[in-house]
Amino acid sequence: MIGKEAAGCHDRGRTAVGAAELASFGGTDLDDQRSIEELARRAADVVGGHWWRSAGGPPVIVVAAREDGRSSTARWSSRPTFDRCVEIRLARGQRDIATLAHELAHCLAGIEHGHGERFRAAEIDVLTVLAGEAQGQSLAACFDSFALAIGPQTWSAPGAVVGDTFVLRRRGAWWGAQDHPIG
């Protein structure tokens, strides 16, 4: 769910994105309920990492939504101590890695982008960082099966260290030094 900035705008693709997410990780451990503290730590690991900072992602805090909150949100914080920070509010029943990835994707893509192509590219990359390449590829395949286009990355792809070799992820594949076209 997105914050006030896009309120009143028709958010094309929201329902289809939810269906693709359910197909990709509904019933998996990504859907298991977790504590706010654990989810805040996981978000801090992503947001504090080199990839997020180099991608231009904003500072983020994770808090519990109000008791009567029915859905999770990402919006610019109105708290004076968190100026220019996005506040993710996780609703009861949605405190899981899948929802955290979804809300972090709003932060990376830009809250104003709703659930469009840019958001979907961000969600794949955030999920890859949080849960691994297989989960990111699964979500990309589900977006494809629901005919949901994935926008271009305007940020660097997430990287990983495998053994003693750094590899860069490009959409759908990992590239190591041995795969470099010049190398």
**pLDDT classification of 138: cutoffs 50, 70, 90:** very high
183 or 105, greater pLDDT: 105
Determine the Cα–Cα distance for residues 113 and 16; give it in Å rounded to an integer.
15
Smallest CA-to-CA distance from 129 within 56, 6, 43 is with 43
- The encoded tokens of residue 130 equal 């949080």
What's the pLDDT score for residue 82? 56
The stretch 156-163 carries a mean pLDDT of 62
The radius of gyration of the chain from alpha carbons, rounded to an integer in Å, stands at: 16
* Residue 154 DSSP one-character state: S
Is the pLDDT at 171 greater than 80, yes or no?
no
Q: Domain limits of the chain?
A: 4-152
**Residue 28: closest CA among 115, 105, 132, 162:** 132
**Contact yes or no for 128/158 (Cβ under 8 A):** yes
Task: Say what the pTM is.
Answer: 0.78
Is pLDDT at 100 greater than 70 in this prediction? Answer: yes
Q: What percent of the chain has pLDDT over 90?
A: 37
